[in-house]
Amino acid sequence: MALLQEKKQEIIGAYQVHETDTGSADVQVAMLTARISRLSEHLKTNKKDHSSRRGLLKLIGQRKNLLAYIVKHNPEHYRELITRLGIRG
Protein backbone atom coordinates (compact mmCIF):
# COMPACT_ATOMS: atom_id res chain seq x y z
CA MET A 1 0.00 0.00 0.00
CA ALA A 2 2.51 2.59 -1.12
CA LEU A 3 1.58 6.22 -1.51
CA LEU A 4 1.50 7.86 -4.92
CA GLN A 5 4.30 10.27 -5.74
CA GLU A 6 1.92 13.26 -5.92
CA LYS A 7 0.54 12.48 -2.47
CA LYS A 8 4.07 12.14 -1.07
CA GLN A 9 5.08 15.53 -2.49
CA GLU A 10 1.94 17.10 -1.02
CA ILE A 11 2.72 15.69 2.44
CA ILE A 12 6.37 16.71 2.25
CA GLY A 13 5.39 20.24 1.21
CA ALA A 14 2.97 20.57 4.12
CA TYR A 15 5.27 19.26 6.86
CA GLN A 16 8.83 20.09 5.80
CA VAL A 17 10.92 22.19 8.15
CA HIS A 18 13.00 23.88 5.44
CA GLU A 19 13.01 23.95 1.66
CA THR A 20 15.11 20.83 1.01
CA ASP A 21 13.72 18.78 3.91
CA THR A 22 12.41 15.34 2.94
CA GLY A 23 13.34 13.20 5.93
CA SER A 24 12.80 15.11 9.17
CA ALA A 25 10.81 13.45 11.93
CA ASP A 26 7.76 15.61 11.12
CA VAL A 27 7.70 14.48 7.49
CA GLN A 28 8.24 10.86 8.46
CA VAL A 29 5.38 10.95 10.98
CA ALA A 30 3.08 12.55 8.41
CA MET A 31 3.97 9.90 5.80
CA LEU A 32 3.43 7.08 8.28
CA THR A 33 0.09 8.57 9.32
CA ALA A 34 -1.07 8.64 5.71
CA ARG A 35 0.00 5.01 5.19
CA ILE A 36 -1.64 3.95 8.47
CA SER A 37 -4.96 5.54 7.57
CA ARG A 38 -4.90 3.98 4.10
CA LEU A 39 -4.06 0.55 5.49
CA SER A 40 -6.76 0.87 8.16
CA GLU A 41 -9.36 1.47 5.45
CA HIS A 42 -8.10 -1.60 3.60
CA LEU A 43 -8.42 -3.74 6.71
CA LYS A 44 -12.01 -2.63 7.30
CA THR A 45 -13.04 -4.41 4.11
CA ASN A 46 -10.47 -7.25 4.26
CA LYS A 47 -10.74 -8.49 7.81
CA LYS A 48 -8.75 -11.69 7.23
CA ASP A 49 -5.68 -10.01 5.74
CA HIS A 50 -3.36 -10.83 8.62
CA SER A 51 -0.10 -9.94 6.87
CA SER A 52 -1.36 -6.41 6.23
CA ARG A 53 -2.51 -6.21 9.85
CA ARG A 54 1.02 -7.10 10.96
CA GLY A 55 2.43 -4.43 8.65
CA LEU A 56 0.00 -1.91 10.13
CA LEU A 57 1.18 -2.72 13.64
CA LYS A 58 4.81 -2.26 12.55
CA LEU A 59 3.97 1.15 11.04
CA ILE A 60 2.20 2.19 14.22
CA GLY A 61 5.28 1.19 16.23
CA GLN A 62 7.57 3.23 13.96
CA ARG A 63 5.30 6.27 14.29
CA LYS A 64 5.20 5.83 18.06
CA ASN A 65 9.01 5.84 18.25
CA LEU A 66 9.28 8.96 16.07
CA LEU A 67 6.67 10.75 18.17
CA ALA A 68 8.59 9.81 21.33
CA TYR A 69 11.70 11.36 19.78
CA ILE A 70 9.82 14.57 18.95
CA VAL A 71 8.24 14.91 22.40
CA LYS A 72 11.64 14.35 24.03
CA HIS A 73 13.28 17.15 22.03
CA ASN A 74 10.42 19.66 21.69
CA PRO A 75 7.15 18.99 23.60
CA GLU A 76 5.39 22.10 22.26
CA HIS A 77 6.16 21.16 18.66
CA TYR A 78 4.86 17.64 19.40
CA ARG A 79 1.48 19.03 20.53
CA GLU A 80 1.22 21.16 17.37
CA LEU A 81 2.09 18.18 15.16
CA ILE A 82 -0.45 15.76 16.62
CA THR A 83 -3.12 18.47 16.38
CA ARG A 84 -2.29 19.07 12.70
CA LEU A 85 -2.32 15.35 11.94
CA GLY A 86 -5.49 14.70 13.92
CA ILE A 87 -4.07 11.82 15.93
CA ARG A 88 -4.54 11.12 19.64
CA GLY A 89 -7.66 12.95 20.59
* pLDDT tens per residue, range 19-68: 999 899 999 999 999 999 999 999 999 999 999 999 999 999 999 999 99
Fold of 21-85: Helix Hairpins (1.10.287)
* DSSP reduced 3-state for 22: coil
Q: List Cα–Cα distances, 32 to 9, 37, 68, 82, in angstroms.
A: 14, 9, 14, 13
What does pTM read for this prediction? Answer: 0.91
Q: List Cα–Cα distances, 23 to 16, 27, 28, 46, 48, in angstroms.
A: 8, 6, 6, 31, 33
89 residue type, one letter: G
* DSSP reduced 3-state for 25: helix
Asked if the model's pLDDT at residue 88 lies above 90, the reply is no
Domain residue ranges in the chain: 21-85
**pLDDT at residue 1 in the model:** 61
